[in-house]
Chain A
Amino acid sequence: MLTAEDKKLIQQIWGKLAGAEEDVGAEALWRMFHSYPPTKTYFPHFDLSQGSDQIRGHGKKVVAALGNAIKNLDNLSQALSELSNLHAYNLRVDPPRFSLQFLSQCLQVVLATRLGKEYTPEVHSAVDKFMSAVAAVLAEKYR
């Protein structure tokens, strides 16, 4: 459960990314495809070469969605409702925990490389909890 302190830390840390969201998203995706090749199976229609426009575009989308979730931490279910439907009925990423764990790991690695010491254990914990909460909401409608 996200505490008030967690929410504050998440918002603070996200604020530090201002302007770099697209890079962060693209890099997180690229790392995910590289470290966990099975995740590529969901993107057969993409050019998955490094720096591809599609990876950048999709990374930007993902980060924007996370940014929106962060603005609505008290009501994640509602904020992510559309995406929840999309993942359950259209995308059917399988199982959602699975891929989001990999995306969560890679996003955190990107944050850690950029923030260094500022990616403290408390921040790490808050972000990990947040990504788990996002994964849970996205998985809500699977069955």
Chain B
Amino acid sequence: MVHWSAEEKQLIASVWGKVSVEECGAEALARLLIVYPWTQRFFDNFGNLSSPTAIIGNPKVRSHGKKVLTSFGDAIKNLDNLKVTYSKLSELHCDKLHVDPENFRLLGDILIIVLAAHFSKDFTPACQATWQKLVGVVAHALAHKYH
């Protein structure tokens, strides 16, 4: 089981408390689709993904981004019980969605860049280190039920 120090929990909570799940989620997902265009393969039914502008303005992207980040919030609330919390979601991503777990790492890194752009100097090296650990652990939990 992953151990979280009091300082790490504080760094996670203080950043998360200031995040707009809707804005951040939309932005992170949009950037995933823009920076790593092959990830669009999972979103054939999302409509117009033909350009960065189209992707950023796409309402399905926004709404799905919000869903994804809301789920990330669940992970944060259940740091000591992540594998169980994400058990069903992991099965879903493997059995129904067929998403290569590498994509979880990509999205995690992008989320961190979105946070960095948003929080600027406040996104300190200590903050980044904790969040890199967090996205890594979340990605791992999401991949856990793959077979």
Interface residues of A (CB under 8 A from B): 27, 30-31, 34-36, 105-106, 108-110, 112-117, 119, 121-122, 124-125, 128
- Interchain nearest-CB distance for A9 vs B (Å): 11
B117 touches A115 (CB 8 A): yes
Q: How large is the interface on B (under 10, 10 to 19, 20 to 34, 35 or more residues)?
A: 20 to 34
Interface: B76 (CB within 8 A): no
New contact pairs (13) apart from A116-B117, A116-B120, A125-B31, CB-CB < 8 Å = A27-B125, A31-B128, A35-B125, A36-B132, A108-B116, A109-B112, A113-B116, A113-B120, A113-B123, A121-B35, A121-B52, A124-B31, A125-B34
**Binary CB contact string for chain B from 109 to 122 against chain A (1 if under 8 A, 0 otherwise):** 10011101111110
Interface of A is mostly: helix
Shortest Cβ distance from A33 into B: residue: B125
Q: Is the CB of A109 within 8 A of B123?
A: yes
User: In the complex, are the beta carbons of B120 and A30 less than 8 A apart?
Assistant: no
The answer to whether A109 and B128 have CB atoms under 8 Å apart is: yes
B-to-A contact residues, CB < 8 Å: 30-31, 34-35, 52, 55-56, 109, 112-114, 116-121, 123, 125-126, 128-129, 132-133
A58 to B23, CA, bound (A): 37
Q: A9 to B122: give the CA distance in the assembly, Å.
A: 26
In the complex, A80→B109 CA distance in Å?
Answer: 26
Cα distance A34–B31 in the bound complex, in angstroms: 25
In the bound complex, what is the Cα–Cα distance between A87 and B52 (angstroms)? 35
Q: Among B113, B114, B118, find the residue whose CB has the most chain A CB atoms closer than 10 A.
A: B113
Q: Is the CB of B129 within 8 A of A35?
A: yes
Complex interface: chain B residues within 8 A of A116 (CB) = 117-118, 120
Q: Given that A30-B125, A34-B126, A125-B34 are contacting pairs, would A119 and B120 also be in contact in the complex, using a CB cutoff of 8 Å?
A: no
The distance in angstroms between the C-alpha atoms of A117 and B116, with both chains bound, is 10
Give bound CA distance, A35 to B112, whole Å. 12
On whether the beta carbons of B119 and A105 are closer than 8 Å, the reply is no
For the complex of A and B, 8 pairs with smallest distance between CB atoms:
A112-B116, A112-B117, A35-B132, A35-B129, A125-B35, A109-B116, A121-B34, A34-B129
Q: Are A122 and B52 in contact (CB under 8 A)?
A: yes
Residues from chain A with a CB closer than 8 A to the CB of B112 are 105, 109
Smallest Cβ distance from A105 to chain B, in angstroms? 5
Contacts known (A31-B128, A34-B125, A34-B126); A113 close to B117, Cβ less than 8 A: yes
- Smallest CB-CB separation from B56: which chain A residue? A121
Q: Give the residues in chain A near B34, CB-CB below 8 Å.
A: 121-122, 124-125
Cα-based distance from A108 to B128 in the complex (angstroms): 12
When distances are taken between beta carbons in the complex, the residues of chain B under 8 Å from A35 are 125, 128-129, 132-133
Chain B residues, CB < 8 A from A113: 116-117, 119-121, 123
